[in-house]
Chain A
Amino acid sequence: AQSVTQPDIHITVSEGASLELRCNYSYGATPYLFWYVQSPGQGLQLLLKYFSGDTLVQGIKGFEAEFKRSQSSFNLRKPSVHWSDAAEYFCAVGFPTGGFKTIFGAGTRLFVKA
């Protein structure tokens, strides 16, 4: 069955430090992979997505993610975190099934300290 695992419930980083959020998925074929961000009281906003091609994907707000098929991973990175990045981050895997279905991970809450 398809699933998404985000091993870290929450992460705290200092402003200006680098960030990596982990995501592992389970899916039999090449997946569609997404990272969304959710600020308090808001809906989800797409940061980036991977469908095929270059395994290093650039997104908005300075984020990037790398697809590693051998590890079934799609980790999100940012070289220098800003206080405004504090939010909940969701990894998701999508697959065609009579349309298109997306399964979300449980999320990682990012705290940024000054």
Chain B
Amino acid sequence: EAGVVQSPRYKIIEKKQPVAFWCNPISGHNTLYWYLQNLGQGPELLIRYENEEAVDDSQLPKDRFSAERLKGVDSTLKIQPAELGDSAVYLCASSPRGNTEAFFGQGTRLTVV
């Protein structure tokens, strides 16, 4: 069974440029998460989807961040415009409905210069 797939693995952009990350969750997993992981820190939830509905986006900086999960499968996370402080690893995770265990992708390491 394929795991959670994220792309790209690495991204370097100049500040003020837009960037997008893509996540393909494990097949059949209804719940999808985007986490932000700063260097030396644990993951922090940005947004959680149940199917195509964003049920918890309280930690998403909505002035520059946006996310979507069309058709309740793949998801994209976008930053526009990026700032130096956005340099971090962005992790996607998924879990089956009613399951508390999250399965993580390898993450996208973003560097903003």
Contact = CB atoms under 8 A, between A and B. Distances in A.
A98 B42 contact: no
Interface in B59-113: 91, 93, 95, 100-107
Contacts of B40: 9, 106-107
Interface residues of B, number: 23
Interface stretch (A43-51, A64-72, A77-85): A43-51
Contacts of B103: 46
A65 to B, nearest CB: 15
B43 A44 contact: yes
Given A99-B50, A99-B55, A94 B100 contact: yes
Contacts of B55: 98-99
Contact of A106 (B4, B41, B45): B41
Contacts of A107: 40-42
B31 interface: yes
Contact of B100 (A36, A42, A44, A51): A51
A102 B104 contact: no
Contacts of A49: 100-101
Interface string B35-53: 0000011111100101000
Contacts of B14: none
A10 to B, nearest CB: 10
Contact of B44 (A44, A45, A94, A104): A104
A101 B104 contact: no
Contacts of B48: 99, 101
Contact of B42 (A41, A51, A90, A99): A90
Contact of A99 (B56, B101, B104): B56
B104 A106 contact: no
A99 B31 contact: yes
A34 B104 CA distance: 14
B101 to A, nearest CB: 6
Interface of B: 4, 31, 40-45, 48, 50, 55-56, 91, 93, 95, 100-107
